[in-house]
């Protein structure tokens, strides 16, 4: 039996900003793979390159060099619009700042990716309601983000990430703007999705949130320092 | 997708209702001005055409000089050309088979006085052939006698307005009025003609014999214009050709020399007058169109502000998979909806203004569907042109930067 193709595979990926003396190597040739159904936490101090890595995984940016295989297909050289289509069809995003559209009901926020996919209105409604139900907010569908708590807003964002049935959910500091109780609530939602088979890659600097993930990638200075199960001494770091 | 984009645009516009209204004001004013001007211009053209057609299509005017625009307006080219004489009028009348009647015509604005009443009116020197040529019967009293015409006597036939203003209900026939220094006896009253072009009163007129006009008012033997009615058995073109042949002969114009007179029928006069209206309308509309461009710049300005304000929203849309083209379309549609709204409001406003003004000026109200469609298309085009740059700016935003924007 052959190894399954990783859904995400970085091969010697580098990201360089600036040129000459001002050159900054945000990522200095990193390689790793993420298989279907994994829950990976990318950790590291600020400036370690974890956000850059996340932007590259999310196809929001393209690497300076290296190969990025998504489902076995190299997407490193794609142009803007091609990357947008990858994001639309295969990725779901959860951000630290929620990034919901203001003055737009939760349901319409969740529908947003489906609009760009061209899903017909009635079907869109149904899928969005289903996604909201998965995060326990179907009763709040008609409410604007301003009428929801931070935790609820982040759950709407998770529903939005979920709605297109993506291959991977990318969460960038999903609990960064939430208190301890809400943070654990959100992590339980993500963990639940992972238990149902969803692949999740999360960037965080909080060790107790990272503890929900079975695999930790620790980054320092644009390099991967550790990749594997959580290290026991991490809590002390 | 188009439906979604339209709904989105309307939502965004409604969210900033006051700002949107102020933004489209420039377009509204520009479109309203163009629509009102063109509609009124068309109305006055229709008015002129209608009035001249009432005179009859077989009427030809013959004047010394050259047609077209001269230094003092239409018909003032070659002002020095030799005037006609009564002999010319008689020759046209008697020598040409295509001509039913020809009448001399000379006019001056003068004051008519009766006792303590005085009015300003148009005094026309002519003879009975004029009444026949333009089909204007005398309804009270009589027309000129041969002796009055050839002797240049002090008699006159008055229009209805002159009669009402000077005599009220009294019988004017046999009374004497004074035209400045000329004293004349009223011998008849003309049939009422009604209001003419641009509020001109055709019934404010006093007809006196041509000889009286020449000797007692003008002090010469000239005839400024000849009114001709072409016999119905001939076309006006045939009539004009005969007149031109005869007059060239009488004025000794040979070979390739240019005519120093011209004969025009009502159709030609109509097209000349409406031509002037068209040029004026066009010029005024061009000025109004400038305000459309200014309005477009207003839209561009507010769309740029909107793109900056909504950078984060754009970032979110890009992150969930909107392509640059879809983001561009969203902002372009928003600009087009804005300016098209301005266009529609402007059209309604312009038509209302034109209707009121037409009613006030007593000219026909003739809205033109092609102008209305043109205004809609043009205002939408303004939206596309001036919305393009802000929309492109939105589409080119980097999603990472845009998401970080506060």
Domain identity same for B277 and B387: yes
Question: Considering CB atoms only, which of A95, A115, A117 is closest to B403?
Answer: A95
Letter string b/e over residues A8-43, b meaning 16 or more CB atoms within 10 A of that residue's CB: bbbbebbbeeeeeeeeebbbebbebbbeeebbbbbb
Q: What is the pLDDT of residue A2?
A: 62
Please check whether residue B126 is in contact with residue B182, taking contact to mean a CB–CB distance below 8 angstroms.
no
Selected residues 151-180 of chain A with any CB under 8 Å from a CB in chain B: 160, 164
Query: Could you count the other beta carbons within 10 Å of the beta carbon of residue B216?
Result: 20
What pLDDT sits at residue B57? 74
* Structure tokens, B342: 């301005």
What is the per-residue pLDDT for B76?
58
Residue A118 burial (10 A CB sphere; 0-12, 13-18, 19+): exposed
The total number of structural domains in chain B stands at 2
Q: Which of B61, B83, B110 is nearest to B208 (CA)?
A: B110
Mean pLDDT computed over A200-221: 94
**Quick one: B255 and B347 in the same domain?**
no
Is B233 inside a domain boundary? yes
| Shortest Cα distance, chain B CAs vs residue A120, angstroms | 9
Q: How far apart are the first and last CA of chain B?
A: 28
Longest Cα–Cα distance of chain A, Å, equals 56
Task: Express each pLDDT in A110-161 by its tens digit.
Answer: 999 999 999 999 999 999 999 999 999 999 999 999 999 999 999 999 999 9
Task: Reply yes or no on whether the pLDDT at A3 is more than 80.
Answer: no
Asked whether the predicted pLDDT for residue A235 surpasses 50, the reply is: no
Number of other CB atoms surrounding residue B81 within 10 Å: 16
Q: Do B400 and A160 touch (CB under 8 A)?
A: no
Q: Please answer yes or no on whether B324 and A81 come within 8 Å at the CB atom.
A: yes
Q: Which residues pair with B18 in a beta bridge?
A: none
* Percentage above 90 pLDDT, chain B: 32
B209 domain-assigned: yes
B309 CB-contact burial (10 Å; exposed 0-12 / middle 13-18 / buried 19+): exposed
Which residues of chain B make contact with A61, given a CB cutoff of 8 A? 400
pLDDT digits 0-9 by tens, B279-299: 888 888 888 778 888 888 999
Residue numbers in B near A81 (CB within 8 A): 323-325
Say whether pLDDT at B64 is over 70: yes
Rounded Cα distance between A170 and A193, Å, is 12
- A79 to chain B, any CB pair closer than 8 A? The answer is no
Cα–Cα nearest to B201, from B190, B209, B192: B192
B226 and B255 in a single domain? The answer is yes
CA distance A165 to chain B (A): 13
Checking DSSP bridges between strand A199-203 and strand A168-172, what pairing results, if any?
Answer: parallel
Q: Which residue of A has its CA nearest to B5?
A: A115
Helices B17-55, B324-361: inter-axial angle, 10-degree rounding: 40
> Chain B contact for A89, CB < 8 A?
yes
- Per the CB < 8 A criterion, the answer to whether B354 and B35 are in contact is yes
pLDDT at B7: 87
Distance between CA atoms of B140 and B126, rounded to whole angstroms? 19
CA distance B309 to chain A (A): 12
Q: Are residues B111 and B202 in the same domain?
A: yes
Check CB contact under 8 Å for B316 and A81.
Answer: no
**Model pLDDT, residue A31:** 95
Residue A188 has pLDDT above 90, yes or no: yes
Looking at the structure, tell me whether residues B324 and B251 fall in a common domain: no
- Other beta carbons within 10 angstroms of residue B394's beta carbon come to 26
Decide: B208 and B179 in contact? Cβ < 8 Å: yes
The confidence band for A20, taking pLDDT boundaries of 50, 70 and 90, is confident
Nearest by Cα to A157 from A190, A181, A180, A125: A190
Is the separation of the CB atoms in A43 and A213 below 8 Å?
no
Residue at token pair 């000026």? B361
What's the pLDDT tens digit per position in B363-399? 888 888 988 898 888 888 999 999 999 999 999 999 9
Question: How many beta-carbon contacts under 8 Å exist across A and B?
Answer: 58
Using a pLDDT cut of 70, give the percent of chain B over it: 95
Per-residue pLDDT at B74 exceeds 60: no
Same domain, B176 and B43: no
Q: Name the residue among B99, B331, B88 with its Cα closest to residue B226.
A: B88
Residues ≥6 apart with Cβ < 8 Å to B341: B13, B20, B24
**pLDDT for residue B71:** 57
Q: What is the DSSP letter of B213?
A: I
> Are A115 and B4 a contacting pair at CB < 8 A?
yes
The 3-class secondary structure across A135-202, one letter per residue, is: CCCHHHCCCCHHHCCHHHHHHHHHHHHHCCCCCEEEEECCCCCCCHHHHHHHHHHHHHHHHCCCEEEE
Residue A100, min C-alpha distance to chain B (Å): 8
Is there a domain that residue B69 lies in? no
- Residues B244-265: pLDDT tens digits? 889 888 888 887 788 888 888 8
Q: Do A88 and B4 touch (CB under 8 A)?
A: no
pLDDT band at B273 (very low <50, low <70, confident <90, very high): confident
Contact yes or no for B264/B60 (Cβ under 8 A): yes
DSSP string, B328-379: HHHHHHHHHHHHHHHHHHHHHHHHHHHHHHHHHHT------HHHHHHHHHHH
Give domain status of residue B26, yes or no. Answer: yes
Q: What is the mean pLDDT of residues B234-253?
A: 88
Determine the residue among A54, A56, A75, A116 to mutate to test chain B binding: the one whose Cβ has the most chain B Cβ atoms within 10 Å. A116
Q: Which domain holds residue B223?
A: 82-259
What's the pLDDT at B237? 87
Q: Which of B4, B326, B400 sits opposite A61 (nearest CB)?
A: B400
- Residue A237 confidence (pLDDT) above 50: no
Least CB–CB distance from A60: residue in B15, B322, B400: B400
- The pLDDT of B73-80, averaged and rounded, is 61
Q: What is the pLDDT of residues A165-183, one digit of tens each?
A: 999 999 999 999 999 999 9
A162 bridge partner residues: none
Instruction: Select the residue of B15, B312, B317 nearest A103 (Cβ to Cβ).
Output: B15
Nearest to B399 among A60, A100, A103 (CB): A60
pLDDT for B81 equals 79
What pLDDT is stored for residue B61 in this prediction?
A: 87
Confidence check: pLDDT of A203 > 90: yes
Please tell me which residue of chain A has the smallest CA distance to B15: A103
| C-alpha distance from A196 to closest chain B C-alpha (Å) | 22
Considering B214, B234, B259, which residue would you say is the last residue of a domain?
Answer: B259
And the tokens for B332?
């372009």
Q: Is the pLDDT assigned to residue A236 strictly greater than 60? A: no
Mutation for testing the B interface, residue in A115, A144, A145 having most B CBs under 10 Å? A115
Which tens digits make up the pLDDT trace of A46-100? 889 999 999 999 999 999 999 999 999 999 989 999 999 999 999 999 999 999 9
Instruction: Provide mean pLDDT across the span B207-224.
Output: 89
Q: Cβ of A55 under 8 Å from any chain B Cβ?
A: yes
Neighbours of B78 (CB within 10 A): 17
Q: What is A34-46+89-236's CATH superfamily?
A: P-loop containing nucleotide triphosphate hydrolases (3.40.50.300)
Report yes or no on B76 lying in a domain: no
Q: Are residues B30 and B111 in the same domain?
A: no
In a domain, B265, yes or no: no
List CB contacts (< 8 A) between A91 and chain B: 321
User: Is B354 part of any domain?
Assistant: yes
Q: Which residue has the higher pLDDT, A171 or B361?
A: A171
Domain boundary residue, one of B259, B288, B303:
B259
Closest by CA to B331, choosing from B383, B399, B398, B369, is: B383
| Alpha-carbon span B266 to A85, nearest angstrom | 70
Average pLDDT across chain B, whole number? 87
* A221 pLDDT tier (thresholds 50, 70, 90): very high
Give the best-scoring range by mean pLDDT among B79-93, B224-238, B314-328: B314-328
| Residue B120 reports pLDDT greater than 60 | yes
In sequence order, the β-bridge partners of residue B185 are B155, B176
pTM of structure: 0.73
Q: Decide if B56 is inside a domain.
A: no
Tell me which chain B residues have a C-beta less than 8 angstroms from the C-beta of A80.
323-324
Give residue B151's pLDDT band: very low, low, confident or very high (50, 70, 90): confident
Query: Chain B partners of A88 at a C-beta cutoff of 8 Å?
Result: 320-322
Contacts of A62 (CB under 8 A, 6+ apart): A56, A76, A77, A78, A83
Hey, are the CB atoms on A88 and B321 less than 8 Å from each other?
yes
**Residue among B17, B321, B326, B328 with most chain A CBs within 10 A, to mutate:** B321
Instruction: Write the residue in B316, B318, B400 that is nearest to A84 by C-beta.
Output: B318
Clarify whether residues B245 and B278 are in a common domain: no
What integer pLDDT is reported at residue B170 of this predicted model? 84
My answer on whether B149 and B227 are in the same domain is: yes
**CB atoms A118 and B1 under 8 Å:** yes
A112 close to B (CB below 8 A)? yes
In this predicted structure, the answer to whether residue A190 has a pLDDT above a threshold of 70 is yes
> Whole-angstrom Cα distance, residue B390 to residue B212?
76
Tell me the domain boundaries of chain A: 34-46+89-236
Query: Which of B195, B229, B259 marks a domain boundary?
Result: B259
């Amino acid at each position: 039996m052959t190894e399954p193709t990783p859904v995400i595979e970085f091969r010697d990926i580098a990201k360089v900003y600036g040129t000459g003396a001002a050159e900054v190597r945000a990522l200095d040739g990193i390689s790793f793979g993420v298989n279907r159904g994994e829950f990976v936490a990318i950790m590291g101090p600020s400036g370690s390159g974890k956000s850059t890595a996340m932007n590259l995984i999310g196809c929001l940016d393209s690497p300076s060099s290296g190969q990025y295989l998504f489902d076995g297909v190299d997407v490193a050289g794609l142009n803007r619009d091609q990357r947008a289509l990858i994001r639309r069809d295969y990725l779901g995003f959860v951000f630290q700042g929620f990034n919901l559209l203001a003055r737009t009901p939760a349901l319409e926020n969740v529908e947003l990716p489906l609009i760009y996919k061209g899903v017909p209105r009635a079907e869109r409604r149904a899928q969005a309601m289903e996604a909201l139900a998965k995060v326990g907010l179907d009763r709040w569908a008609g409410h604007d983000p301003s009428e929801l708590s931070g935790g609820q807003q982040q759950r709407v964002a998770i529903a939005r990430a979920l709605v297109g049935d993506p291959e991977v959910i990318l969460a960038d500091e999903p609990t960064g703007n939430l208190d301890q109780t809400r943070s654990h609530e959100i992590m339980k939602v993500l963990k639940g999705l992972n238990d149902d088979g969803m692949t999740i890659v999360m960037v965080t600097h909080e060790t107790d949130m990272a503890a929900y993930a079975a695999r930790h990638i620790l980054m320092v200075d644009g390099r991967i320092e550790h990749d594997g199960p959580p290290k026991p001494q991490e809590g002390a770091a | 997708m188009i439906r979604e984009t339209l709904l989105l645009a309307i939502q965004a516009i409604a969210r900033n209702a006051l700002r949107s209204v102020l933004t489209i004001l420039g377009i509204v004013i520009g479109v309203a001005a163009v629509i009102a001007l063109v509609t009124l211009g068309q109305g006055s053209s229709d008015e002129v055409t209608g009035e001249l057609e009432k005179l009859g299509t077989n009427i030809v005017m013959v004047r010394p000089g050259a047609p077209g625009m001269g230094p003092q307006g239409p018909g003032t080219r070659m002002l020095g050309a030799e005037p006609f004489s009564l002999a010319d009028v008689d020759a046209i009348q008697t020598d040409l088979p295509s001509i039913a009647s020809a009448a001399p015509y000379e006019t001056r604005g003068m004051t008519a006085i009766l006792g303590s009443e005085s009015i300003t009116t148009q005094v026309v020197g002519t003879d009975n052939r004029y009444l026949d040529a333009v089909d204007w019967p005398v309804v009270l009293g009589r027309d000129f006698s041969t002796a009055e015409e050839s002797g240049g006597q002090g008699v006159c036939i008055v229009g209805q307005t002159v009669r009402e203003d000077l005599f009220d209900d009294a019988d004017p026939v046999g009374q004497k009025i004074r035209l400045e220094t000329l004293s004349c006896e009223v011998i008849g009253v003309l049939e009422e003609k009604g209001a003419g072009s641009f509020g001109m009163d055709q019934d404010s007129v006093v007809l006196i014999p041509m000889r009286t006009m020449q000797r007692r008012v003008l002090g010469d033997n000239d005839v400024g214009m000849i009114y001709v009615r072409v016999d119905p058995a001939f076309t006006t073109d045939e009539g004009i050709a005969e007149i031109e042949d005869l007059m060239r002969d009488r004025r000794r114009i040979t070979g390739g020399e240019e005519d120093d007179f011209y004969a025009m029928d009502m159709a030609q006069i109509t097209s000349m007058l409406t031509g002037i209206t068209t040029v004026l309308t066009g010029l005024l509309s061009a000025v109004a169109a400038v305000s459309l461009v200014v309005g477009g710049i207003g839209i561009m300005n507010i769309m740029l502000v909107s793109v900056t304000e909504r950078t984060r929203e754009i970032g979110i849309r890009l992150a969930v998979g909107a392509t640059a083209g879809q983001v561009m379309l969203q902002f372009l549609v928003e600009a087009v909806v804005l300016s098209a709204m301005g266009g529609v409001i402007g059209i309604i406003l312009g038509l209302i203004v034109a209707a009121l003004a037409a009613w006030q000026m007593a000219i026909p109200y003739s809205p033109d569907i092609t102008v209305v469609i043109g205004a809609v298309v043009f205002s939408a085009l303004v939206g596309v042109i001036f919305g393009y740059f802000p929309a492109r700016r939105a589409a080119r935003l980097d999603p990472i930067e845009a998401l970080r924007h506060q």
